[in-house]
């Protein structure tokens, strides 16, 4: 088992190496002079020349890549063309906004998704199951930015119950976190249902019932604990999807996170920011997936000792 994790852990830098290479090459693959692109359209000739030296564009590509890698490892992604501030500073000032939104969305997705999935499993084939499954497939299929626009139109513009844009008090979180949390909620509900159904068929559940434990206690103590494993898996694996949806959600709600930073950066051709956001997004997804794997082995002795 430990060998499995050592192997996974060793793969992490290899994957990040590949990712950084793609990001490095992509900017060099742009038509035109990378120095001019990185310095911005209004840069003077002097600034472009400085940028050429800074990027080391006269040096051979492998050396350039090594330099890019060393800088990236130290958290130096260059300077934003638009704001002229270091990219790392821009990322740091917005990372919290994205993470807090994702955390709230995940929290409610789990809070609603797990009990809904449990109810569907316990009443399998009956009304609660059918309702949960229909809502789950709708939740997984609905274009979340469409739902966002409808909610904004009704709750924010027409009724004025909730703020329309931006980040502020708790009320600002309601609409963006529903938009972001809907898909994970649907996935968690489906996953909880199928893993609970499987667990409820096990012998030890029957034993627990037979020795006189109440139904609710059995579901909570015995079934849910084992059903948690696939739930953690789906949450971990879906994290990349959530990071992706933050881009759309933040843009719609004018949320000051890294997703909106990315979309703005594309509009202004702010390549250092694009590089920085991409690398940050990939590193967080890779790390979260790894942690989810680790957590599963802690929860599931079969994986640990298998």
Partner 1 sequence: MQATTGEKIAFRLRWLRRRPSLVLGAVLVGFIVLMAILAPWLAPADPYQQNLMQALLPPSADHWMGTDAFGRDVFSRILYGARLSLLEVALGVGIAVMTGVPLGLVAGTIGGRTDHVIMWLMDVLFAFPGIVLAILIVSILGPTLINMLIAIAIFSIPIYARLTRNLTLGLKQLEYVQAARALGAGRLRIMFDHILRNALGPIIVQATLTAGTVVLTAASLSFLGLGAQPPTPEWGAMMSDGRNFLGVALWVSFFPGLAVTISVLGFNILGDGLRDLLDPRS
Residues of this chain that bind partner 1 (CB under 8 A): 11, 14-16, 18-19, 22-23, 26-27, 29-30, 137-138, 140-143, 145-147, 149-150, 152-153, 156-158, 164, 240-241, 243-245, 247-248, 251-252, 262-263, 265-267, 269, 271, 274, 277-278, 281-282, 285-286
Nearer to partner 1, 104 or 152 (CB): 152
Give the chain's largest Cα–Cα span: 83
Place of tokens 């990071």: 243
Report the nearest approach of partner 1 to the CB of residue 143 (Å): 4
Report the nearest approach of partner 1 to the CB of residue 150 (Å): 7
Report the nearest approach of partner 1 to the CB of residue 215 (Å): 29
Report the nearest approach of partner 1 to the CB of residue 32 (Å): 11
CB-based contact 116:189 (threshold 8 Å): yes
Nearer to partner 1, 154 or 204 (CB): 154
Nearer to partner 1, 46 or 158 (CB): 158
Residue whose C-alpha is closest to residue 281's, from 267, 293, 268, 265 = 265
Report the nearest approach of partner 1 to the CB of residue 214 (Å): 33
At residue 181, what are phi and psi to the nearest 5 degrees? -90, -10
Nearer to partner 1, 218 or 247 (CB): 247
Report the nearest approach of partner 1 to the CB of residue 290 (Å): 11
Return all residues near 240 (Cβ < 8 A) that are at least 6 apart: 285, 289
Nearer to partner 1, 208 or 248 (CB): 248
Residue whose C-alpha is closest to residue 81's, from 280, 268, 277 = 268
Distance of alpha carbon 300 from alpha carbon 61, whole angstroms: 46
H-run or E-run covering 97: helix 87-122
Alpha carbon of 90 to those of 43, 84, 147, 201: distances in Å?
A: 21, 10, 30, 52
Nearer to partner 1, 151 or 295 (CB): 151
């Amino acid at each position: 088992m430990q060998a499995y994790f050592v192997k996974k852990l060793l793969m992490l830098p290899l994957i990040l190496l590949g990712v950084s290479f793609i990001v490095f090459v992509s900017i060099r693959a742009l038509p035109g002079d990378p120095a001019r692109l990185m310095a911005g359209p209004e840069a003077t000739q002097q600034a472009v020349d400085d940028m050429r030296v800074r990027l080391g564009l006269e040096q051979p590509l492998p050396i350039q890549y090594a330099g890019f890698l060393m800088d990236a490892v130290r958290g130096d992604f260059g300077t934003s063309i638009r704001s002229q501030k270091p990219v790392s500073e821009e990322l740091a000032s917005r990372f919290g906004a994205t993470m807090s939104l994702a955390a709230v969305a995940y929290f409610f997705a789990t809070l609603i998704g797990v009990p809904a999935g449990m109810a569907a499993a316990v009443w399998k084939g009956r009304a609660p199951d059918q309702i949960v499954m229909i809502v789950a497939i709708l939740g997984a299929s609905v274009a979340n930015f469409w739902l966002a626009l409808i909610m904004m139109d009704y709750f924010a513009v027409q009724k004025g119950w909730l703020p329309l844009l931006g980040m502020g008090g708790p009320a600002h979180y309601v609409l963006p976190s529903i938009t972001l949390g809907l898909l994970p909620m649907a996935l968690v509900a489906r996953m909880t249902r199928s893993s609970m159904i499987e667990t409820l068929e096990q012998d030890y559940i029957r034993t627990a019932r037979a020795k006189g434990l109440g139904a609710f206690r059995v579901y909570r103590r015995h079934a849910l604990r084992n059903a948690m494993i696939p739930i953690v898996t789906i949450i971990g694996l879906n994290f990349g999807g959530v990071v992706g949806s933050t881009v759309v959600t933040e843009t719609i709600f004018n949320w000051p996170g890294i997703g909106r930073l990315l979309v703005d950066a594309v509009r202004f051709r702010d390549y250092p920011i694009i590089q920085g956001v991409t690398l940050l997004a990939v590193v967080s997804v890779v790390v979260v997936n790894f942690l989810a794997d680790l957590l599963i082995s802690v929860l599931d002795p079969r994986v640990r000792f298998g």
